[in-house]
Each structure stands twice: as C-alpha cells, then as structure tokens.
Structure 1
Amino acid sequence: MDLRQLRYFVAVAEECHFGRAAQRLHMAQPPLSQAIRRLEEDLGVELLERTTRRVALTAAGERYLERARSILADVEAANHEATRVAAGEVGRVVLGVVGSVTYALLPSLARRLREEFPDIDFEFTGEMLTPELMTALRDGTVDIALMRTPADTRGLLARALRSEPLIAALPAAHPLAARDVIDLADLRDEPFVTYPSQHRSVLHDTVLTACQARGFSPRQVAQVAQTSTLLVFVAAGIGVTVLPASSRRLRLEGVDFRDITNAPTVELAAAWRPGAPASTQRVVDRITAIVTGGAAGAT
C-alpha cells in the first residue's frame, strides 16, 4: 500500500465511478481499476461494490474512506509544515541581549519580531554580559546574541549593527550635573560603579581603556552586571558610571545623563551559530534591517 493507492481509492469513492475518477486523476481507467483491486487484495477486504450500473462503498469502504482522507490530509499538512520550516517561517528562536539593549531596543524589537513572524516561538533574555552571551551561543542556550564588541566569536558568525557613544551617568545632585557636556578626565577623582572586571564585561574594559587614555584609572567602588542596578547605585550616590548612550532610555529618578566630549564609541553586533535553522537566519536578517535600516553581510 502507498499514498498513491489511497488517492486513487478516495477519487473512486468520491466519484462513485471509475471513468470519472480516472479523468479526475488524469489517467486511464484500466490501471486505476487494477490499483484499487490490488489495494483490496492487500487488505483482504472488499471496499467497493461494483455492478454494471454503479459503484458503491461497502461498510468497510466507508470507514476506510474516512481514514484515507485523514491520512492524506495529515501528509499534506506535514508537507506544508516542512516547507515552511525549511523557509524559516516556523521555528523557535531564543534571543539574548546585553544590558543597555534590554531597555533601548528590545521592547520595540520584540514587538516587531512577534508581529512579523507570528509562527516563530520567541524567547527573550535581557541583561546578559557579552562573554556570557558567547557561552550561551556555543552551548545552544541562546540562538542569537545582541552583544558588544570586541568579543570572542571564534566558531560563530557575527555582524556589526551600529555604534554609539559612551555617556556619563551622575547622581542628580553631583556638581558636574550642572554642565551640559563633560570631559572624561573630569571624572578622574570620582568613585566609579562599573560593570564586572576580569574580562567578564566588554564595557568594563572599554571604559577602563578610555579612562586610561585620558590619564587615569577609575577608582572602582562597586561592580554590578545589570545596567538597571548600575544606575540604582548611581542614584543612591555611591558613584558615577560611564555606559552606552542607549542607557538614557532607562530613566531613573536621581540620575542625570551627560554627554562626554569626544566620547569613545561602542559597537553593537549580532552573533549566531553557523548552520543555524532557516528561522534563525531570517530573524538575524530582519534584526539587521530594523537596527541598521538595510542589509549587511556576515563576517
């Protein structure tokens, strides 16, 4: 028995006529009759009553027709779903993002991705550090990472999306908050609240390098992994911090943001695994278009 025999049987059963069924199937009548007879012989059951005037279903044939229709419908649905999966229209994608992106980009990005890919099951994880994201990509916990560079992307695919300047976050009562713009060197004597050190955060190393280029090393009084907690510490007057400009989206009472003269920039990039499902690649391409306004190639 094969699917072709089922289709033949359904056509004959619905037409109740071998000639009309053969026309519907675009085939000659004799091989159709032979195929139905072989099906009955394989089953050991008579499915059709044949007379010179009519073809009718037996009781067994009526039940077999129900099952045959169901099987063919399931096969068609499976074929359609497989095609959609291969095209990247169906799947599951876990997107992990660094701290500042959690507030500046993730809300609108998540909404648009859900709207544009309704049959992809999305999971979003925010406030992750870049090295943590690289580990999650490699172990399969995350499918796409929006992270800061430079990062260890060996064995992964990565695509630059955009860059943004660093800004200062100050306690609202801080004297420097009275200025519109400050110089990074103005913070040389200030206590710093920073992202984690020892290469656990790309931003920590970027800020440290920028400060050292201005002739000082920041005096660190606290290290936290979450951007929101970082700004809570600033609001409490524990120290100042330097972070990406997109962090302005996280408005917090007691914190004032100030631009930095000739501010260094940090880059946002997307990373994913080679050989990822088509759904992942489609989402990466859409994220690229949303963030940059156009397409970009993988590196």
Structure 2
Amino acid sequence: MVEMRELRYFVAVAEELHFGRAAERLGIAQPPLSRAVQKLERQVGAPLLERTSRRVALTRAGAVFLRESRAVLDAADAAVRRARRAAAPGLVLVMKPGGDGGGLLRDVLDAYRALPGAVPVDVRFSFGERAEMLRDGRADAALLHRPRNDLTGLAWEDLLVERQVVLLPPGHRLAGRAAVRLDDLRGEPVPRYPGSPPGDAAGPEVTETGHLSQLVALGRAVAVVPESFQDQLRRDLTAVPVTDAPPTTLVLAWAEGARSPELAAFVRCAAGVAAASRAGGSPRSAPL
C-alpha cells in the first residue's frame, strides 16, 4: 500500500522538480527522499519522473499521479479538520461581509436559538474562500450565491432570489438612468474576485467589501452585485438596476455527506425562515 508520507514526498518533488529543494522543503536528507520516490514508482508500476543530470520532469503517468495525490492529501487533511469540527461544540458559519440577503441571517439565527437543542453558531467572515472553507472542513455552513460561487462538492438550500444592480461612482455617465442593460456596461472596468480569471476589461482584484466600495468610489471599477448590497452602500455611490442580469440566489451551503444533526436542524430552520420571508413579499426577492 502507498503511504501518505510517500505521497507527500512525491508531491514535493513534483512541485519543485528538484530533489535537493524538495528535500530541504520536507526537512529530510536527499538520499532517503530518492529511495522513497523509487519505491513509489515500483508500487505504481510506472516511471513518474524523468531524471537527467540537468533536470527532473514529470512523465505522463507522473502528471496524473500528482493530480490524484494532491486530491488524496487534501481529502485526508479535510477529514482531520472535519473530525475536529465534529468534536468541537457549536457550528461555524462563514459569510461575506454584508452577504446575508439584507438581514435574513439575523432572523435565521434568532429562530434557531429558540429551538430545543440549539448549539452556538460562530459567524465568521471571508470574502473569497467561503466554499473552500466548507470543502476543507474549516466551516460547517456558508452563505454563498448561485451562480457566482462554485458549488462543486457542496449541498445547498436556496434561500432568497435577488435582482442585481450595478454600483457606479459619482458622476458616472449611467448614474442618472432608471435602469441599464449589460451591454451598457461593455468596456467598463469590472472587479476581479479571488480565484477568478481576469477579463479583457478587468479592473483591480477585490478582497473585501470595503475595498470594492472604495474602488467604485474612485472610478476604478463598476460592480454588478445583489440588490441587498444597497443596505451598506456609501452615500456617494449609485445603484442602478440591471434589467437583463440573471438573478442571483443566496444559498445556505454545506459539504456533501455532512451528517451533523445540529447542522441539519440549522438548515431546516433557515429554509423555514426564508420561506416565511418570501411569503411576506420582500420587495427585493423573487419566487424560487
């Protein structure tokens, strides 16, 4: 059987493409590292690395094994974190600052606290890696937006559908409009979010909500955001509805396969509060 230690050794060599640097990174001597990789190649039954006196390169099999080894190591690390989370009291919920659908989360937390057996909910904030925090076990639940966030490997409950608006700086050519279309924004600098590829007209990378507002105010970017973002809008910015922008759905997400009864109760509570909010006719929501 292949050991986790051997996978970590191989990943270090494959990423460094140099046995000396990999050994230094791992804190071991080079000879045992070389022997471990050779043993691994015998176990796999195929050469994983091409070695010459000048260079180390991945073989085709090595490239595949590197991808799969990373997945195994990530899964093992996530399993440890999830086990620690399961042993810890309470739930960890992660959200983007201001990304709670205009106060919906407050109602959810109040309703959940009233349930028998409710546990403490630790609300944490992250701008760009909320989904990753679920996948690697750092959080139990997250507020995300479809289709903006990648929900691969996650389960989710839809809470609120919102129209989208564009944030514009003072004096912008579109600021006086009652509404705009996406074509009206063509060529405008748009923000890049962590993990997203830059576009032809991309503006600066944004790492938190206050940063986004400041960039818009300075005329460095315009941003299409859910309508509830207006609740935290600076007075000098303008929000104009974008009529043909697809609606964005606020979801409560969690890792697929999670079996926590406390999490299940929290999800049911959130779904009930969201359904009641929709039935009450929130002006910025639409039917699911």
Q: Quickly name the TM-score band, shorter chain normalised.
A: 0.5 to 0.7
| Distance in 1 (alpha carbons) for counterparts of 2:193 and 2:111 | 29
- Structure 2: 5+ residue runs without aligned partners? 1-87, 279-288
| Distance in 1 (alpha carbons) for counterparts of 2:120 and 2:109 | 13
1:36-115 to structure 2, matched below 5 A, reads: 91-102=89-100, 104-105=102-103, 108-109=106-107, 111-113=109-111, 115=113
Q: Which residue of structure 1 aligns with residue 265 of structure 2?
A: 282
Tell me which amino acid in the other structure corresponds to 1:285. R
- Alpha-carbon distance change, 241 to 279 in structure 1, aligned in 2, over 3 angstroms: same
| Distance in 1 (alpha carbons) for counterparts of 2:269 and 2:108 | 12
> Which of 156, 159, 166 in structure 2 is aligned with 1:158?
156
State the shift of 1:92 in Å: 0.3
TM-score by length of 1: 0.55
State the shift of 1:271 in Å: 1.8
| Distance in 2 (alpha carbons) for counterparts of 1:148 and 1:282 | 21
1:226-265 to structure 2, matched below 5 A, reads: 226-265=208-247
| Distance in 1 (alpha carbons) for counterparts of 2:103 and 2:207 | 18
State the shift of 1:294 in Å: 8.4
Q: What is the total number of aligned residue pairs between the two structures? A: 187
Tell me which amino acid in the other structure corresponds to 2:121. F
1:232-267 deviation per Cα after TM superposition (whole angstroms, max 9, x unaligned): 211122221111112111121221100012221122
- Alpha-carbon distance change, 252 to 110 in structure 1, aligned in 2, over 3 angstroms: farther
- Alpha-carbon distance change, 230 to 218 in structure 1, aligned in 2, over 3 angstroms: farther
- Structure 1: 5+ residue runs without aligned partners? 1-89, 205-216
State the shift of 1:169 in Å: 0.2
Q: Which residue of structure 2 aligns with residue 225 of structure 1?
A: 207
After TM superposition, the runs of 4+ consecutive aligned structure 1 residues lying more than 4 A away are none
Answer with 1 or 2: which has the greater Rg.
1
More helix by share: 1
Amino-acid identity (%): 25
1:18-70 deviation per Cα after TM superposition (whole angstroms, max 9, x unaligned): xxxxxxxxxxxxxxxxxxxxxxxxxxxxxxxxxxxxxxxxxxxxxxxxxxxxx
State the shift of 1:184 in Å: 1.6
- Alpha-carbon distance change, 179 to 218 in structure 1, aligned in 2, over 3 angstroms: farther
| Distance in 2 (alpha carbons) for counterparts of 1:179 and 1:223 | 27
Pair 1:292 & 2:275 matched: yes
1:156-206 deviation per Cα after TM superposition (whole angstroms, max 9, x unaligned): 43222232222100002212111111122112132223423536xxxx9xx
Q: CA RMSD in A?
A: 2.9
- Alpha-carbon distance change, 265 to 99 in structure 1, aligned in 2, over 3 angstroms: farther
> Which of 133, 142, 145 in structure 1 is aligned with 2:130?
133
1:129-164 deviation per Cα after TM superposition (whole angstroms, max 9, x unaligned): 3xx22321233211111112342432x432222322
Residues 253-262 or 187-196, more deviating: 187-196
- Alpha-carbon distance change, 266 to 103 in structure 1, aligned in 2, over 3 angstroms: closer
